[in-house]
Amino acid sequence: MKEDTKTKLTQNQQGSQEMCRTIEVVATVDHVDMSPPVMSPVVVSSNTGDDLNLIPPLNFAMVDNGIFRSGFPGSANFSFLQTLNLSSIIYLCPEPYPEANIEFLKSNGIRLFQFGIEGYKEPFVNIPEDTIREALKVVLDVRNHPVLIHCKRGKHRTGCLVGCLRKLQRWCLSSVFDEYQRFAAAKARVSDQREE
Sheet containing strand 2-11, edge to edge, reads 2-11, 18-28, 111-114, 88-91, 147-150, 67-70, 61-64
- Under DSSP, the state recorded for 151 is -
CB within 8 Å of 34: residues ≥ 6 apart: 143
Instruction: Identify which of 127, 117, 106, 119 has the alpha carbon closest to the alpha carbon of residue 3.
Output: 106
Active site residues: 151
